[in-house]
Chain A
Amino acid sequence: MGFLAARLRAKFNMWKRFLLIRGTELLIFSLLAALPLLVNSSYALGLLTLLAIYAILLIGLDVSVGYLGQVNLGHAAFLALGAYAAALGVALFDLNLLTALLVSLLVGLILGALLAIPALRLEGPQFALATLSFSALTVITLNELEAWTGGAQGLQINRPPLFNWSLDAVNFYWLCLIFLGLVWVLMRNLLASNWGRAFEALRDSPIASDAMGVGVYHYKIAAFAIGAALGGLAGGLYAFNFQYLQPQSFTYELMVILLLGVVLGGRKNLWGALLGATLIVLLPNLLSNRFTFQMIAAAGLLLTIIAAQQSRPHKQPFQTYAPVLAMALMMAGSLLAENIEDWRKAVFALLLFAVVLGLPDGLIGFITRFLSQLFRIAPPALVAASPLDEVLQSKLTHGEILLKVSNLKCYFGGIKAVDDISFDVHSGHIHGLIGPNGSGKSTAINVISGLYRPTAGALLLHGKALPHGSLYQVARTGIARTFQNLQLFGELSALENVMLALKDTYRCPLPLLLLGFAKREEKRAQADAQALLALVGLTDYARTTAKNIPYGAQRFLEIARALARKPDLLILDEPAAGLAQPDVQRLIAMIKHIHGRGITIILIEHHMDVVSELCDVVTVLDGGKIIAQGTPDEVKRDPQVIEAYLGSAHVDH
């Protein structure tokens, strides 16, 4: 009975969630569509059209700012380029409306990719500067190409008819809204798929992304280009909305406002983009009326006080009350200032300051938390685990040479980290790699797994040469690894960490995926990942964000994620480091189980009891050279190994 009730409750929860979320979407979009019929004002209609266009623009900006976590100051330029592309397409080639918009989209996509290819090799401030220069260059170029763009004089354009149907302002607004709806649905599907997880993973750990076969560079460029394409599309709509373009409209100030919109609304969230667009469209109007602005300031003050109360125990006092202070300042200003519009930039600054410190998830984060408490929305139920045998098929091993390392060298300047080592790893073995700290063990496996490029030497897997110096390419050959200094995707849940790495799971082509045909695949991935989490005993942490999982469990999660690559060769880099005794026993059982499924393992470990119990062969390194090789018992008796590594008296072994 209890079981049935639980299932019914889960079903009910699922439907409640589905209805609430889809219902809200439908309600908001219907309301937006109906507004022009209810309010008969051309001014309001203009704001609504701009709202729809900005929402598309911000959804695009959110991909690079929110998901990739890059400070992108070039988005206004894509708006400009899309706008001018559409305008010139109509003026010079007499394109129809939809073709012109397609051109805008493609211009954004292509130029976005072209900018991303060099710029995304940069990080942080350099990337911001590169995009800022791009944006300045765009405005200058548009200014100077007077023959086509009319320069600073501006460019007048006519809105072409949609097929034979000439659009009035209301119809054009609906067209923008339809585009917003399309972008909304397509992006929702994209971001809910493995693409969305990949975008986030890149930000948390590029190294691990490559090691899990998610090519960092490709995904980064794709993400940036998609964002730029949306910028271009918004530009096309912008051009046909105003029917007049001027390069000065797309300068630095617009960029700051757009960033304000994303941060204020809430990053990594479609609703956040819509809310952000609403705010930046309305803000200039709210500033013009003193009373409304005072109301806004009061609401802001109240909101920050509530948020401060909620976060109080976890933060430093200044962090907690700084946003309240900013809003209090704004409130005081609204009462004292003669003309609030003169203080426009100060208002933006205070808002941005308060939001960044007080509401890191933006307004939408605050609202969702509030609503999910109010309606008691439980997170969606997780699907049951697949049978482990389906996820990790057992392989037969015949003891042939799986990995051949010959005369491998890796030098850093004058330091010979790995100095001419050769050894074979036989399939079905657990091959130990031990040695003092700094003896070159980690360097050796970093070379094998492609993180470092070897100075000389050959690596053969299954008799075929391994690619050199590319984690991503090596990951695709059937080698998976864990990291000694954990490289989890901190912002993703444990389940998502494993899902992202799953091999041979995501086959749905992009166009179908955008249309929402990847749901089954996604469920399957969740079930498979659950099976791997169960294998390492982390079922209870499935939903927990990886960075909040206790240390020992994080080590196990690294193993589950590596197993998702379904490897022939698994490299474990100090899996027992920092584990307490009961967890060490669990780890040993786990490695035995994995080995039993025919996976060959290279084990780097300092716990000699673990090495003795598990390894078939042990290679001992010191100073970058092999000093001994043999069974655990043989190397433990070797005087050189005792001298360099084990020491005279064992601790705890």
Chain B
Amino acid sequence: MLTIENLHAGYGNSEVLHGVSLKVAAGTVVALIGANGAGKTTTMRAISGMIQPTQGRVLLNGIAVQGNTGAAIAQLGLAHSPEGRKVFGPLSVEDNLLLGAYSRLPALFGFRKHAAAELNRIYELFPRLHERKNQVAGTLSGGEQQMLSIGRALMAQPKVMLLDEPSMGLAPVLVQEVFKIIRQLKAAGITLLLVEQFARSALEVADYVYVMEHGKIVLEGLPSEMNKNERVLAAYLG
């Protein structure tokens, strides 16, 4: 579903990714783990077109998408819930969600009706967002913004979702919720690439795991293998 080959990318003159290759099969959850600064977020940004890779290929459903704009890649069914939430602060919660579905809604009239089913689904997942649907997103607490960011990505009915640190800044009880949601997404057949600080929990939901260090994939395998790997245990599972 999503394949990246020999991806190089960076900021300005400094290269962060030195040839990253990975595969995410349709309907599976793949976890990408590694220390801060290893290049996980940069990998996601290079896939979704937020930054342009300098070398390598990104294949989405067999179509090469590298070099396209973020908007064009999103149209092809890839949604990115970025690290640090990045919600549209001055807009209401509902408007934020509607923007997530922007590319497939009618431009002028009836978009709310068109999106009603999706909206309800999101509100079922996150009742808190329903309570606050008319509140301005910038005044939500950190955790609520995180829910909104995931909800907005889901509105696009993506085939592939990139989730960057979805549990960041959430209370333990909500972290459990997020992992429930990830399981629900998986059950719904959405392909997921997941970056998560709680590596142990990420390994529990994942079908396959890649470990990144210094801009390269250094290890890959099934979660059951990773759970036994001493290097991974020592460095990431604490």
Whole-angstrom CA separation of A148 from B10 in the bound complex:
61
Contact B198–A651 (Cβ < 8 Å): yes
Interface segment among A10-18, A54-62, A217-225, A308-316: the answer is: A308-316
Residue in A closest to B85 when the chains form the complex, CB atoms: A485
Interface 0/1 of A91-116, CB less than 8 Å to B: 00000000000000000000000000
**A residues in contact with B69, CB < 8 Å:** 316
A484 at the B interface (CB under 8 A)? yes
Contact B198–A579 (Cβ < 8 Å): no
A637 at the B interface (CB under 8 A)? no
Interface 0/1 of B32-51, CB less than 8 Å to A: 01111100010000000001
A568 at the B interface (CB under 8 A)? no
Beyond A314-B12, A548-B12, A548-B14, is A578–B52 a contact (Cβ under 8 Å)? no
Whole-angstrom CA separation of A647 from B140 in the bound complex:
22
**A residues in contact with B128, CB < 8 Å:** 438
Whole-angstrom CA separation of A580 from B69 in the bound complex:
30
Whole-angstrom CA separation of A552 from B168 in the bound complex:
12
- Residue of B14, B83, B141, B167 near A438 (CB, 8 A) is B141
Interface segment among A173-181, A285-293, A582-590: the answer is: A582-590
- Residue of B36, B142, B175, B176 near A583 (CB, 8 A) is B36
A577 at the B interface (CB under 8 A)? yes
Residue in B closest to A584 when the chains form the complex, CB atoms: B238
Whole-angstrom CA separation of A646 from B199 in the bound complex:
19
A166 at the B interface (CB under 8 A)? no
Query: CB within 8 Å of A: which of B126-145?
Result: 128, 139-144
Whole-angstrom CA separation of A610 from B176 in the bound complex:
18
Beyond A436-B174, A437-B141, A651-B201, is A551–B83 a contact (Cβ under 8 Å)? yes
Chain A binding surface, main DSSP class? loop
**B residues in contact with A579, CB < 8 Å:** 36, 197
Contact A577–B168 (Cβ < 8 Å): yes
B27 at the A interface (CB under 8 A)? no
Contact B169–A315 (Cβ < 8 Å): no
Contact B172–A578 (Cβ < 8 Å): no
B235 at the A interface (CB under 8 A)? yes
A165 at the B interface (CB under 8 A)? no
Interface residue count for B (Cβ, 8 Å)? 45
Beyond A551-B83, A581-B199, A581-B236, is A437–B12 a contact (Cβ under 8 Å)? no
Say how far A385's CB is from chain B's closest CB, in angstroms: 22
Query: CB within 8 Å of B: which of A474-491?
Result: 484-486
A594 at the B interface (CB under 8 A)? no
Whole-angstrom CA separation of A548 from B10 in the bound complex:
10
**B residues in contact with A548, CB < 8 Å:** 11-12, 14
Interface residue count for A (Cβ, 8 Å)? 41
Contact B170–A606 (Cβ < 8 Å): yes
Beyond A436-B171, A644-B173, is A552–B12 a contact (Cβ under 8 Å)? no
**A residues in contact with B197, CB < 8 Å:** 578-581, 584
Contact A552–B142 (Cβ < 8 Å): no
Contact B237–A650 (Cβ < 8 Å): no
Contact A314–B52 (Cβ < 8 Å): yes
- Residue of B14, B165, B176 near A578 (CB, 8 A) is B165
Contact B172–A553 (Cβ < 8 Å): no
B179 at the A interface (CB under 8 A)? yes
**B residues in contact with A438, CB < 8 Å:** 128, 140-141, 143-144
**B residues in contact with A650, CB < 8 Å:** 172
Contact B169–A484 (Cβ < 8 Å): yes
**A residues in contact with B171, CB < 8 Å:** 434-437, 606, 645
Contact A651–B179 (Cβ < 8 Å): yes
Query: Can you show 21 pairs from A to B with CB atoms below 8 A apart?
Result: A314-B54, A437-B170, A437-B174, A439-B141, A552-B37, A553-B37, A577-B142, A577-B169, A580-B36, A583-B35, A583-B36, A584-B197, A606-B169, A606-B170, A606-B171, A650-B172, A651-B200, A651-B201, A652-B175, A652-B200, A653-B172
Top 7 closest pairs, chain A to chain B, by CB = A437-B143, A552-B36, A550-B37, A647-B173, A438-B141, A581-B238, A313-B54
